[in-house]
Structure 1
Amino acid sequence: MRRADPLITVLKLNKEAEEQAALQLKSAQLEQQRFEGQLEALNNYRLEYMKQMGENQGKTLSASEYHSFHEFIKQVDQALVQQVNTVREAQNQTQHRQVHWQQKQQKRKAVELLLAKNAQKAQQIANKQEQKASDEFAMQQFIRKTPR
């Protein structure tokens, strides 16, 4: 009975690690998309608010209304800066996960290649043994047929 090749176990573990890394990458990508969507929504909100204020420009605004408008825009701008930073961090995380997944994929492929090479060597050895046995059989047949 042949014992199991330990590389099969290594391959299985590498496949599992690669799958886990792929899930982490997908999660990071989804989170990045969510943060980018929030940033876009904030930008759109700011633009809409500025547009509304532009439409009211001809109307008389009290000092407190004008001050409130500027304070509100300042808060929205601060939220935008925070969101831009959050998006940057998410992009960095996604990039890190991408590299991690590629490394796991590379390890898996290396083990698969090693297994394929080992299988090829084993096949060559088996072919040589088969050829040797065939040659011996032919030699025995020849010897038996040769008159003495």
Structure 2
Amino acid sequence: MPQKLPLSTLIELAQNRTDAATRALGQLQSAHNSATETLDMLLQYRQEYLDQMATLMRDGMASSELHNFQGFIGTLDNAIEQQRALTQQADTRLAHGRGDWQDNKRRLNSFDTLADRRSQQNVVALNKREQRDSDEHTSRQFYQRSQQQAG
């Protein structure tokens, strides 16, 4: 079994970490979207409830009914504030997840760049060896011809 080069191992580890960070970022993005959608839904529901209350107040409503509406709106306001806190936490986690993914991607790109440089160096060295071998072969042929002509 051929032994892996240390750089290949580092690239593989960096790729695995980047893949894991990508999956985590996707989950964080999904959680963020869900929290934002829930907040938007609560805000919309609150506005609809306020609109309904305004319509009923124009038509006349009992004070007990108004009190119930106000109590429910207070409950909605509490739920909205809790959801805003959850959304802010999701924002923070998402920002950290993006930073983690960027760090991992940058590390992977660095290792890939090193591997490309090493590959280019190997190609240059191989070309030099081939040129040297070709030069030596040509020199031997020239020497052999000059020996044959002299002898």
Q: TM-score, normalised by structure 1?
A: 0.93
Runs of 5+ in structure 1 lacking a partner?
Answer: none
Aligned match of 1:73: 73
Q: How far 1:106 sits from its partner (Å)?
A: 0.5
Counterpart Cα distance in 2 of 1:128 and 1:67 = 90
More divergent stretch after superposition (3-12 vs 61-70): 61-70
1:63 aligns with 2:60: no
Aligned match of 2:42: 42
**1:74-104 residue CA offsets vs partner (Å, 9 max, x unmatched):** 1111111111111111011111101100110
Q: How far 1:59 sits from its partner (Å)?
A: 4.0
Aligned match of 1:93: 93
CA spacing shift, 1:2–1:21, aligned 2, 3 Å? closer
- Secondary structure, counterpart of 2:58 in structure 1: coil
Runs of 5+ in structure 2 lacking a partner?
Answer: none
Aligned match of 1:83: 83
Q: How far 1:69 sits from its partner (Å)?
A: 1.8
**1:99-140 residue CA offsets vs partner (Å, 9 max, x unmatched):** 100110011110011011011111111111111111111010
| Matched positions, count | 148
* 1:47 maps to amino acid: Q
Aligned match of 2:22: 22
Counterpart Cα distance in 1 of 2:53 and 2:97 = 43
- Secondary structure, counterpart of 1:57 in structure 2: helix
Counterpart Cα distance in 1 of 2:76 and 2:3 = 66
Counterpart Cα distance in 2 of 1:2 and 1:130 = 25
1:140 aligns with 2:140: yes
* 1:89 maps to amino acid: Q
- Secondary structure, counterpart of 1:145 in structure 2: helix
Counterpart Cα distance in 2 of 1:139 and 1:108 = 46
**1:38-73 residue CA offsets vs partner (Å, 9 max, x unmatched):** 011101111111111111113443333222221111
